[in-house]
């Protein structure tokens, strides 16, 4: 994994924004989900992914973001029918986000700034 110097204060803020975005998906309605996902993609792709590029976690987080994005395009009937799948996807995304955060923190501690 490629590691560059990390500003810990900035990284902590980025991680909190990502976490709030992921948690916001749990309560987002069908019409707001697309907007919420775009915000999460921005936080992840522009701020966090460059710091963990080429890692397994980066691949997994990208895959989860693409999978959850599909829900935002569903019509109202399919949205209601997909409740279980959405809940499972969100749980996987929460877990993946936690793994990504742990890896970043571990790297900062082990390798320093």
Q: What is the average pLDDT across 23-39?
A: 77
Of 16, 99, 5, residue with least CA distance to 51 = 5
Number of domains observed in the structure of the chain: 1
State yes or no: pLDDT of 52 exceeds 50.
yes
The whole-angstrom separation of Cα 24 and Cα 19 is: 8
Q: Is residue 111 part of a domain?
A: no
Domain that holds residue 19: 8-105
Cα angle, residue 72 at apex, residues 13 and 61 outer, rounded to 5°: 45
Dihedral, 57, 62, 66, 69 alpha carbons, nearest 10:
90
Taking the whole predicted model, whether its pTM rises above 0.95 is answered as no
Asked whether 101 and 15 are in contact (CB, 8 A), the reply is yes
Q: Is residue 2 part of a domain?
A: no
Q: Is residue 26 part of a domain?
A: yes
State yes or no: pLDDT of 83 exceeds 60.
yes
Q: Is residue 49 part of a domain?
A: yes
Q: Is residue 72 part of a domain?
A: yes
pLDDT band at 113 (very low <50, low <70, confident <90, very high): low
State yes or no: pLDDT of 2 exceeds 50.
no
């Amino acid at each position: 994994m490629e590691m560059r110097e990390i500003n810990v204060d900035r990284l902590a803020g980025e991680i909190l924004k990502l976490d709030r975005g992921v948690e916001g998906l749990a309560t987002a309605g069908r019409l707001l989900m697309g907007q919420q996902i775009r915000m999460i993609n921005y936080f992840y792709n522009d701020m966090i992914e460059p710091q963990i590029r080429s890692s397994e976690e980066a691949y997994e987080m990208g895959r989860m973001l693409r999978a959850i994005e599909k829900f935002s395009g569903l019509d109202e009937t399919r949205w209601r029918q997909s409740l279980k799948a959405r809940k499972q996807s969100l749980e996987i995304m929460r877990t993946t986000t936690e793994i990504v955060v742990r890896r970043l923190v571990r790297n900062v501690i082990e390798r320093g700034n």
